[in-house]
Structure 1
Amino acid sequence: MARGKLRIHLGAAPGVGKTYAMLSEAHRRVERGTDCVVAFAEHYDRPRTEAMLHGLEEVPRRRLEYRGAARTEMDVDAVLARRPQVALVDELAHTNVPGSRNAKRWQDVEDLLAAGIDVISTVNIQHLESLGDVVESITGVRQQETVPDEFVRRADQIELVDMSPQALRRRMAHGNIYAPDKVDAALSNHFRPGNLTALRELALLWVADRVDEYLKQYRSEHRVSAIWGSRERIVVGLTGGPEGRTLIRRAARLAEKGAGGEVLAVYVAGTDGLTSASPKELAVQRTLVEDLGGTFHHVVGDDVPAALLDFARGANATQIVLGSSRRKAWQYVFGPGVGATIARESGPDLDVHIVTHEGAAKGRGLPVARGARLGRARIIWGWAVGLAGPPLMTVLLGTVHLGLANDMLLLLTVTVAAALLGGLLPALASAALGSLLLNYFSTAPLHRWTVADPKNIVAIVIFVWVGVSVASVVDLAARRTHQAARLRAESEILSYLAGNVLRGETSLEALLERVRETFGMESAALLERGDHQAPWTCAGRVGVGPPVERPEDADVDVPVGDRLALALTGRVLPAADRRVLAAFAAQAVVVLDRRRLQEEADRARTLAEGNRIRTALLAAVSHDLRTPLAGIKAAVSSLRSDDVAWSEEDRAELLEGIEDGADRLDHLVGNLLDMSRLQTGTVTLIIRETDLDEVVPMALGGVPADSVTLDIPETLPMVAVDAGLLERSVANLVENAVKYSPDGTPVLVSASALAGRVEVRVVDRGPGVPDEAKERIFEPFQRYGDAPRGAGVGLGLAVARGFAEAMGGTLDAEDTPGGGLTMVLTVRRGRRTGTARRGRPPARAPHRRRPVPETPRTTRKAGFMSSTGGTPQSPTRVLVIDDEPQIVRALVINLQARKYEVDAAHDGATALRVAAARHPDVIVLDLGLPDMDGVEVIKGLRGWTRVPILVLSARHSSDEKVEALDAGADDYVTKPFGMDELLARLRAAVRRAEPAGGDEDEALVETDGFTVDLGAKKVNRDGKDVRLTPTEWHLLEVLVRNTGRLVGQKQLLQEVWGPSYGTETNYLRVYMAQLRRKLEVDPSHPRHFITEPGMGYRFEK
């Protein structure tokens, strides 16, 4: 019987869609007529997965009892009896209930495959047995249910079901994976972005390796020798020399540029088994390549290029990295070398990289312009040829008689050879010796020094002249060649120095290292001194050996002015190198000056930053000191006032405001002192193992009880922290979160254990912070956006992170799924387990802060302040706009005690809505509001009303006062303030808004048909009161107060309906028609409510 085929859907984490993909495949096969059944599949109450099960045949499960509970498992025997073509089996790593056919579900799948049934299954990457340790280090949880890698690798098909961590977390946040009550815990533990990213990488790499195995198997079965660049494989050819480390690192960098790159280091030994390389060096290189994630291979072959190419093609490599050759130029006569051969034979599919290294590019000094131009070896060979060549040639010519002309040419050849090898002097010696031997052995009379034939004398002279000329030409060519080489080297150095001047990137040490390498010296140093008598000090030094203390102690010194000198040790350089050395020395001075200017600029920047911080500190501290002081002073001045008899409740409220203000001052001073301790490094730690449920609740005492939800598991281990610092850190985080959370949405404080650490998460649902600002919010005196509104110096998060790092932990910000910001405080885990808290609620610090009392929403009555400044003759409505509860509380108590009607708003948007709905007589406004600047609120109000606005703010600069007054404010009071002064200014603002005269007669307007009593808000017609709606009365009041004057349509709309109704002219037409029907004798021909077409309306008596 043929074995069934196994197809596996592999995922990085739960919820990526493995089961859904498996069921989708089943539907496709059923549509094609395949007999397919669901042997076991879980939908986990996920609607889409559950819907996919409809229409598929499910084999009934087997029911088992386990620990008193009923469990269901896959019925393998039922599936075997049913014998479908394809069976769907979910959760391959599942452990079966005792009493099942097999202990593991993958063993059940093995039985189905052995019976010839094809199986489609699912598994997560963390359940592979070989990855258990890796997964535990990532997630902190040891996987108990695993599948042998070998079983999964034998699968006929493996399909990766992939999803990005962000998309998976969104699915989790939307409730598509786990139940809503488990979402927050999952997002803060297993489904953290880092965990998901690491697991996804594991899955991708594992599948990539599996694909690579398939590819190797296919190439082997089909005998494919061509290179397929499916992934980057880089072969490094090693010789066992020290340059191998450079080649391996370079290959690793190349591999990193491509996905799934692999490094294969290869050393080729001879077929005799002997290695010319150092075993110790090869061991070091083997360790290095393995540390970089590559593999080391030892192959045998006499032909090194062929062996490397065969290995590369066999491994399906795409690149070969070789070191540049150490061979001398003359050695290339015997062959092109390994690198050149491999580059020529590699073909179009295999790239070859020749990498320079230390052994091939050591500094040996500049080429000399004079002296030993040809090298010592060539000069010795030249003298050997010049002295030994003529006698040997003469002996050879004695055996064969070629004639005088041929003898002269052959001896001239020896002279030319001596000139080519050794230069002028060996050639001259060869010419002289050759002429003598030619005269003695080849011209008549033989064996005598005399010359009988004058022609022979001419021939010998020509012979000597040609030899000398050739030697001179060769010597001149060698001199010019070496001069050109030296000039080329000097130009390269000068170009390098010029580039450094333009770029300004090279450090002093890098420049000195270039000097040392260029001239082949042991060390290079730049020395300086203050004056002629001052000792020399080292400004920079590179190289080996003892440091040079004075220029005189160096082998070479190049002075630069009176106070600087370049000192080199190693050998004495020729005078011709001084010019280039002087250029290096001048550049070293430029680099030194640039470094010092940079240091001065850094110091200036530090001072400027300090000034900025001091300015920010003064501005922030000024605001945060003035605000609580304002509440304290307002409460104190109220209690000292004699014109009001305070009730016990009011007195308690004012005293509580004083206490709250003092607590805020204490908190501010504490944060300043904490930041000072952190910046000076004087934080003293007392690390002890502490239970979180003893520390965290104490940190919540400064916020309302209903603004925070606490979730600390009972089984949470203890933490190794300083309890006091942890409390301050959590308190600052919670205070910040509560400040930005929407009303009615509590902040969640939760904790969880992960491996060797414990995380405390403070989760809010506020506006959140963009990624680019997540680190900036932890800087001192920094608030998101630097908006000058709301309370806070900007130290809370900086102090919290400083304390966390001092305790060996971390503090980071991340997005809250669905909107908001989550602060993640990580601390070290203790050795002991936390104390059980079953049966008792978590402790919580007592909370003293009380909410601002609701202001009464009484009906507004028209009335004006008494000109004598006492209590108002009839209630005046005041709108208080401030986000500081204690100040609002003090103002509400004082104003209500003096018979004012008070409305309160804590932000700008609420203030604009309340002003439009309640029509206050006067507004008290703070500029530092949480959602918008107070100046913007003034501008919004002035767009439709002239109600008096009294600014009450901690901003005390003249520019800020002018800005508020120019925007439309009527008065400006700086916090802290006295209550008597504020009330006096409020009365004055209201008086200035009263109509001229202010007597009762002007509050009563009579016409021939009706009477309007503005004070009583009544209209009488023919002795009867006319009932008007509030909107009709407000419209009538505006027109009557402007008797005889045109009132524009926009002004009427904004004053009656609010600032957003400036264009709704249909409202005016409807309500003006109603007024005319109620008050005019003939509404179709009005006498009192006159329409000015396209402009507005006018009231006439």
Structure 2
Amino acid sequence: MFQPGGGEWSTQQQAFERVAGPQIHVAFHASHARERTRCSRGRGIRVPPGIAERRQDRVKKLASEGMERGRLRIYVGYAPGVGKTFAMLDEARRRRARGTDVVLAAVDTHGRQEVSAQTRGLEVASRRSDADGTPTEEMDVDAVLARRPEVAVVDELAHTNAAGSRNGHRWQDVEELLAAGIDVVSTVNIHHLESLHDVIEGITGEAPADTVPDALVRDADQLELVDMTPQALQRRLAHGNVFPPERMDAALARTFRVENLARLRELSLVWMADRVDEELRAGPSPARGSEPATARERILVAVQGRPEDEPVVRRAARMAARRGGELIAVHVIPGAGRDDAPQLEPVRELVRQVGGRFEEVVGARVPDAILELARTEGITQVVVGAGRRSRFRGFFGRSVVLDVIRGSGPIDVHVISHEPTSQRPRVTGRVATGLSSDRQLIAAVAGAIVLVGLTTAVAALDRQMALSTIMLLYLTVVIGIAFGGGLRPAIPAAVVSALLINWFFTPPVHTWKVANPEDVVALVVFVVVAASVSILVDREARHRAEAQRRGAEAEALARLTARVAAEGDPLPELVEHARTTFGVDAVSVLRRREDGDHEGGNDSGWVREA
């Protein structure tokens, strides 16, 4: 085992060597203060309404009392069993020997005798009890806060708390301890990081159930990588030193394959190297003094509020973390329509967890709104997702991805390929029609193909079908076109259908003449009915899109109201929200003078407030 600084091995370290095998400990210490991102509740658990808000209120209250925030040290591993908990407890014993007040707030030994031996002589905090008084394995945050140790040892940062807990995840409990000025030593596996969720699923075939926001781990004051070769870890597993045999299932067996462990180990080493590189870029060097090496990257990722946005956001978050840049996600409300809010909320939550900022803007055209925000915010790179549907739309009409690339100018554009995870109703549109031009074009092309096919099939029957039946068939096609594309493709389809009926099926055939006056009336009625149905369908689409637009505005206003209410000074929040929503470079707030004294030649009676 190698530790920076050298020194002889202690008896505990030698025991650890026997238990864990050859190891490398790589320590990474944060040397500069970072602005900590407020983390919202994690994914994978339903938290009762109000719990997250109450936790944030408690954190704010503790911060407002002038307490210095505690320091966070995290032992990072690439898989269970590499020795994170042992290393964490070893540090707790060293601190205890130096006279530091240390309390074990939450430690799971997993039945390992060597790890259990490390807890002897250390104070263990009481665990939380259920309403009926039954003790649980969950950490009692109130008891730790009341005890107020100098250092709290909290194992498994990504642990999901049991139902009824004050917080959904253990990392939220740690946030409260840090806000109270208590130093925390914890552990986490690399596969629990939110930004690596899709990468881990690709390696192991299983999506991690519990995740930790990247911002919390990245902003830790100290990160230490606990490493072990995959072969040594497999030997530990075979000897029962990681999990008892009854706990091994197919999922764990697949994770602990040598090739999977090697890939997870490589991922952890690369992630830690990125953190070291990020620290070096942020800190001064003798060659350049206090100036940074390069301007900070700002990465903008466009989202639609769909499940397939998640891998795109995670990829953008990894790019931002690797470059030490800022991540901004944008959702464009396209004038007359928008995606449903329940589809957008998980994406907004994911952006918060990976340490990004979420913005919503209104724009008649999605590509223009994305590029306008990119130029306003000084974005250096734009990330957009593209699936099969995007390529299909690019063939038949305009494509958001292609338009962004064409108008990006000096801004780099990254196109991330993804497959749609579910088919959901699309509600997009323009103010003029309520239906998108792509949808109208596709409906027109599909309608033309169906009309040609219908005419060929009916003509092949050699007039074995009555004229009224033929008209009903064509009317059905026109109604289908109206539902698919609205008024614009349906009206021409109705006229073309009447002409086809006249030419092929109304005596005398293959002429524009109509011998029977009743057929003339039938053709006129056909066109009127088809046009009327098309108008009704188009009007309904307009009303639906307008209702969704108003609902989107009301929802945005409600979210802004909640954010303003949570801030002590709401004016900066209002100004910033107005600037990003309307895509302007600057916003000024003016206040009318009440004393009537107009200084500086300003006769309007208004003064600038912000």
**TM score, norm. by length of structure 1:** 0.21
Q: Relative contact order (alpha carbons < 8 A, sep ≥ 6): 1 or 2 greater?
A: 2
**TM score, norm. by length of structure 2:** 0.37
Larger Rg: 1
